[in-house]
Protein backbone atom coordinates (compact mmCIF):
# COMPACT_ATOMS: atom_id res chain seq x y z
CA UNK A 1 0.00 0.00 0.00
CA UNK A 2 2.80 2.43 0.88
CA UNK A 3 4.61 1.63 -2.38
CA UNK A 4 1.40 2.26 -4.33
CA UNK A 5 0.91 5.62 -2.64
CA UNK A 6 4.50 6.65 -3.29
CA UNK A 7 4.16 5.70 -6.96
CA UNK A 8 0.80 7.43 -7.37
CA UNK A 9 1.80 10.71 -5.75
CA UNK A 10 5.53 11.06 -6.36
CA UNK A 11 6.55 8.97 -9.38
CA UNK A 12 3.90 8.29 -11.99
CA UNK A 13 2.52 11.86 -12.30
CA UNK A 14 5.95 12.91 -13.60
CA UNK A 15 6.62 9.95 -15.94
CA UNK A 16 5.25 11.44 -19.13
CA UNK A 17 4.74 8.79 -21.80
CA UNK A 18 5.26 9.75 -25.44
CA UNK A 19 2.83 7.86 -27.65
CA UNK A 20 3.16 7.76 -31.42
CA UNK A 21 0.44 7.24 -34.01
CA UNK A 22 0.51 7.45 -37.79
CA UNK A 23 -2.48 7.93 -40.05
CA UNK A 24 -2.96 8.29 -43.78
CA UNK A 25 -4.79 11.32 -45.15
CA UNK A 26 -5.14 13.24 -48.42
CA UNK A 27 -2.53 15.88 -47.54
CA UNK A 28 0.35 17.17 -49.61
CA UNK A 29 3.14 16.72 -47.06
CA UNK A 30 3.59 14.89 -43.76
CA UNK A 31 2.45 16.73 -40.65
CA UNK A 32 3.69 15.93 -37.14
CA UNK A 33 1.26 17.06 -34.43
CA UNK A 34 2.02 17.29 -30.73
CA UNK A 35 -1.34 16.93 -29.00
CA UNK A 36 -1.35 18.31 -25.45
CA UNK A 37 -4.27 18.28 -23.05
CA UNK A 38 -5.05 19.13 -19.45
CA UNK A 39 -1.76 20.81 -18.60
CA UNK A 40 -3.22 22.14 -15.31
CA UNK A 41 -0.01 24.06 -14.78
CA UNK A 42 0.81 26.41 -11.92
CA UNK A 43 4.38 27.16 -12.96
CA UNK A 44 7.51 25.63 -14.39
CA UNK A 45 7.82 22.53 -12.24
CA UNK A 46 9.25 19.06 -12.75
CA UNK A 47 6.48 17.87 -15.05
CA UNK A 48 6.53 21.03 -17.16
CA UNK A 49 10.29 20.87 -17.63
CA UNK A 50 10.07 17.25 -18.68
CA UNK A 51 7.35 18.09 -21.19
CA UNK A 52 9.48 20.84 -22.75
CA UNK A 53 12.41 18.46 -22.97
CA UNK A 54 10.28 15.85 -24.75
CA UNK A 55 8.86 18.41 -27.17
CA UNK A 56 12.35 19.60 -28.05
CA UNK A 57 13.28 16.01 -28.85
CA UNK A 58 10.15 15.34 -30.92
CA UNK A 59 10.27 18.58 -32.94
CA UNK A 60 6.60 18.67 -33.96
CA UNK A 61 5.39 20.79 -36.87
CA UNK A 62 2.46 22.08 -34.83
CA UNK A 63 1.25 21.92 -31.23
CA UNK A 64 -2.48 21.62 -30.52
CA UNK A 65 -3.70 22.01 -26.93
CA UNK A 66 -7.18 20.69 -26.23
CA UNK A 67 -8.02 22.71 -23.14
CA UNK A 68 -7.42 23.10 -19.41
CA UNK A 69 -4.08 24.86 -19.14
CA UNK A 70 -5.16 26.37 -15.81
CA UNK A 71 -4.10 24.72 -12.58
CA UNK A 72 -5.41 25.12 -9.03
CA UNK A 73 -5.67 28.76 -8.10
CA UNK A 74 -7.17 29.36 -11.56
CA UNK A 75 -4.62 32.10 -12.23
CA UNK A 76 -3.75 32.68 -15.86
CA UNK A 77 -0.39 34.27 -14.94
CA UNK A 78 0.78 30.92 -13.56
CA UNK A 79 0.42 29.39 -17.02
CA UNK A 80 2.85 31.86 -18.59
CA UNK A 81 6.14 30.14 -17.62
CA UNK A 82 5.07 27.07 -19.58
CA UNK A 83 2.96 28.27 -22.47
CA UNK A 84 5.43 30.97 -23.52
CA UNK A 85 8.06 28.26 -23.96
CA UNK A 86 5.93 26.19 -26.35
CA UNK A 87 6.90 26.61 -29.97
CA UNK A 88 6.50 24.90 -33.33
CA UNK A 89 7.00 26.00 -36.95
CA UNK A 90 3.24 26.02 -37.68
CA UNK A 91 2.34 27.53 -34.34
CA UNK A 92 0.75 26.59 -31.04
CA UNK A 93 -3.06 26.36 -31.14
CA UNK A 94 -5.39 26.24 -28.16
CA UNK A 95 -9.07 25.57 -27.44
CA UNK A 96 -10.81 26.17 -24.14
CA UNK A 97 -11.42 23.49 -21.57
CA UNK A 98 -14.01 23.57 -18.82
CA UNK A 99 -11.57 25.28 -16.45
CA UNK A 100 -11.14 28.20 -18.88
CA UNK A 101 -14.88 28.63 -19.40
CA UNK A 102 -15.74 28.35 -15.71
CA UNK A 103 -12.98 30.72 -14.60
CA UNK A 104 -12.97 33.27 -17.44
CA UNK A 105 -10.77 36.31 -17.70
CA UNK A 106 -10.88 39.49 -19.76
CA UNK A 107 -9.03 40.03 -23.02
CA UNK A 108 -8.61 36.29 -23.50
CA UNK A 109 -7.52 36.41 -27.12
CA UNK A 110 -4.96 39.14 -26.37
CA UNK A 111 -3.55 37.19 -23.41
CA UNK A 112 -2.91 34.08 -25.48
CA UNK A 113 -1.68 36.06 -28.46
CA UNK A 114 0.88 37.83 -26.27
CA UNK A 115 2.02 34.41 -25.07
CA UNK A 116 2.47 33.24 -28.66
CA UNK A 117 -0.65 31.04 -28.62
CA UNK A 118 -3.48 31.03 -31.17
CA UNK A 119 -6.84 30.72 -29.38
CA UNK A 120 -9.64 29.28 -31.50
CA UNK A 121 -13.09 29.88 -30.05
CA UNK A 122 -15.60 28.35 -32.46
CA UNK A 123 -13.20 29.53 -35.14
CA UNK A 124 -11.02 27.90 -37.75
CA UNK A 125 -7.72 28.60 -39.43
CA UNK A 126 -5.45 27.22 -42.10
CA UNK A 127 -2.53 25.92 -40.10
CA UNK A 128 -0.95 24.92 -43.40
CA UNK A 129 -2.10 25.55 -46.97
CA UNK A 130 -3.82 22.14 -47.11
CA UNK A 131 -4.98 21.66 -43.48
CA UNK A 132 -7.81 23.45 -41.64
CA UNK A 133 -8.04 23.38 -37.86
CA UNK A 134 -11.52 23.91 -36.41
CA UNK A 135 -11.28 24.90 -32.74
CA UNK A 136 -14.46 24.52 -30.69
CA UNK A 137 -15.53 25.85 -27.32
CA UNK A 138 -15.73 23.23 -24.59
CA UNK A 139 -18.77 20.98 -25.05
CA UNK A 140 -19.07 20.21 -21.33
CA UNK A 141 -19.30 23.80 -20.12
CA UNK A 142 -20.05 26.05 -23.10
CA UNK A 143 -21.50 25.99 -26.62
CA UNK A 144 -19.38 24.47 -29.38
CA UNK A 145 -20.25 25.46 -32.94
CA UNK A 146 -18.68 23.33 -35.63
CA UNK A 147 -20.53 25.15 -38.41
CA UNK A 148 -18.89 28.43 -37.41
CA UNK A 149 -15.47 26.81 -37.11
CA UNK A 150 -15.76 25.31 -40.61
CA UNK A 151 -17.40 28.34 -42.23
CA UNK A 152 -14.36 29.58 -44.15
CA UNK A 153 -12.60 26.28 -44.68
CA UNK A 154 -11.46 25.57 -48.25
CA UNK A 155 -13.41 22.67 -49.64
CA UNK A 156 -10.34 20.58 -50.44
CA UNK A 157 -8.49 21.22 -47.15
CA UNK A 158 -8.03 18.30 -44.75
CA UNK A 159 -10.03 19.16 -41.65
CA UNK A 160 -9.14 18.59 -38.00
CA UNK A 161 -11.51 19.45 -35.16
CA UNK A 162 -10.15 20.12 -31.68
CA UNK A 163 -12.23 20.38 -28.53
CA UNK A 164 -11.97 19.45 -24.87
CA UNK A 165 -14.72 17.05 -23.78
CA UNK A 166 -14.81 13.97 -26.04
CA UNK A 167 -18.46 13.02 -25.57
CA UNK A 168 -19.28 15.62 -28.25
CA UNK A 169 -17.70 13.32 -30.82
CA UNK A 170 -20.99 11.45 -31.17
CA UNK A 171 -22.62 14.69 -32.33
CA UNK A 172 -20.13 15.64 -35.04
CA UNK A 173 -18.75 12.27 -36.15
CA UNK A 174 -18.85 11.97 -39.92
CA UNK A 175 -18.32 15.68 -40.53
CA UNK A 176 -14.53 15.86 -40.08
CA UNK A 177 -12.01 13.06 -40.56
CA UNK A 178 -9.87 13.73 -37.49
CA UNK A 179 -10.78 14.92 -33.98
CA UNK A 180 -8.52 15.67 -31.00
CA UNK A 181 -9.86 15.80 -27.44
CA UNK A 182 -8.78 15.52 -23.81
CA UNK A 183 -10.64 16.08 -20.51
CA UNK A 184 -10.68 12.46 -19.33
CA UNK A 185 -7.17 12.28 -17.84
CA UNK A 186 -7.46 8.65 -18.95
CA UNK A 187 -9.33 8.06 -15.70
CA UNK A 188 -6.22 9.19 -13.77
CA UNK A 189 -6.36 6.21 -11.38
CA UNK A 190 -6.82 2.79 -12.96
CA UNK A 191 -7.29 -0.38 -10.95
CA UNK A 192 -6.61 -3.64 -12.81
CA UNK A 193 -9.74 -5.65 -13.74
CA UNK A 194 -12.06 -2.81 -12.66
CA UNK A 195 -13.84 -0.23 -14.83
CA UNK A 196 -12.68 3.36 -14.78
CA UNK A 197 -13.38 4.75 -11.31
CA UNK A 198 -13.84 8.41 -12.27
CA UNK A 199 -14.45 10.51 -15.36
CA UNK A 200 -15.61 14.14 -15.47
CA UNK A 201 -18.88 15.16 -17.08
CA UNK A 202 -18.83 15.28 -20.85
CA UNK A 203 -16.67 12.24 -21.53
CA UNK A 204 -19.44 9.90 -22.56
CA UNK A 205 -18.06 6.47 -23.38
CA UNK A 206 -14.59 7.76 -24.24
CA UNK A 207 -11.54 7.32 -22.02
CA UNK A 208 -8.26 7.35 -23.96
CA UNK A 209 -6.72 6.56 -27.31
CA UNK A 210 -8.33 6.02 -30.69
CA UNK A 211 -12.03 5.79 -31.51
CA UNK A 212 -13.85 5.66 -34.84
CA UNK A 213 -17.48 6.63 -35.51
CA UNK A 214 -19.11 7.11 -38.91
CA UNK A 215 -15.76 7.34 -40.66
CA UNK A 216 -14.31 9.98 -38.30
CA UNK A 217 -11.40 9.12 -36.01
CA UNK A 218 -10.82 10.72 -32.62
CA UNK A 219 -7.78 10.62 -30.37
CA UNK A 220 -8.39 11.23 -26.66
CA UNK A 221 -5.25 12.16 -24.74
CA UNK A 222 -4.69 11.19 -21.10
CA UNK A 223 -3.27 14.67 -20.63
CA UNK A 224 -0.33 15.96 -18.64
CA UNK A 225 -1.68 17.24 -15.34
CA UNK A 226 -4.05 15.99 -12.65
CA UNK A 227 -7.40 17.05 -11.24
CA UNK A 228 -8.77 16.98 -7.67
CA UNK A 229 -5.86 14.92 -6.30
CA UNK A 230 -2.28 15.14 -7.61
CA UNK A 231 -2.17 11.40 -8.24
CA UNK A 232 -1.92 9.00 -11.15
CA UNK A 233 -1.85 5.23 -10.94
CA UNK A 234 -1.43 2.91 -13.94
CA UNK A 235 -2.34 5.94 -16.04
CA UNK A 236 0.77 7.89 -16.95
CA UNK A 237 0.56 11.44 -18.27
CA UNK A 238 0.77 11.54 -22.05
CA UNK A 239 2.36 13.53 -24.82
CA UNK A 240 0.57 12.27 -27.92
CA UNK A 241 2.43 12.58 -31.22
CA UNK A 242 0.28 12.08 -34.32
CA UNK A 243 1.94 11.99 -37.72
CA UNK A 244 -0.26 12.44 -40.77
CA UNK A 245 1.30 11.05 -43.93
CA UNK A 246 0.06 11.65 -47.48
CA UNK A 247 -2.13 9.38 -49.51
CA UNK A 248 -2.97 10.18 -53.12
CA UNK A 249 -5.06 13.34 -53.12
CA UNK A 250 -8.34 13.06 -55.05
CA UNK A 251 -8.15 14.49 -58.55
DSSP 182-194: --SGGGSB--TTS
pTM above 0.75?
yes
Pairing of strands 216-220, 209-213: antiparallel
Find the Cα–Cα–Cα–Cα dihedral 219, 22, 240, 145, rounded to 10°.
-40
Above pLDDT 90, what percent of the chain? 83
Closest CA to 157 of 122, 128, 121, 136: 128
Rounded Cα distance, 85 and 90, in Å: 15
Report yes or no: 21 and 244 within 8 Å, Cβ to Cβ: no
Task: Write the pLDDT tens digit of every residue in 92-119.
Answer: 999 999 999 998 888 999 999 999 999 9
Report yes or no: 166 and 183 within 8 Å, Cβ to Cβ: yes
Task: Write the pLDDT tens digit of every residue in 36-90.
Answer: 999 999 999 999 999 999 999 999 999 999 999 999 888 899 999 999 999 999 9
Task: Write the pLDDT tens digit of every residue in 137-146.
Answer: 999 999 999 9
Helical ranges in 36-94 per DSSP H? 46-58, 80-83
pLDDT value of residue 2: 43
42-46, 94-98, 193-197, 227-231: lowest mean pLDDT where?
227-231
| pLDDT > 60? residue 235 | yes
Tell me the average pLDDT of the chain: 93
All domains of the chain in start order, with CATH: 2-246 (3.60.21.10)
Amino acid sequence: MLATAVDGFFIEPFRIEVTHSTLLAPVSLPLKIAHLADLHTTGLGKSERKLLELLDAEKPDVIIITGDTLGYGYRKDRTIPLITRLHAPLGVWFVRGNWETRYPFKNEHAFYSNAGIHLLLNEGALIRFDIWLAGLDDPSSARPDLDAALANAPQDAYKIAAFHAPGYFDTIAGRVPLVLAGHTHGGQVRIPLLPVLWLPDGCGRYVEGWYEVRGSRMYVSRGIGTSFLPIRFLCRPELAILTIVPTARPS
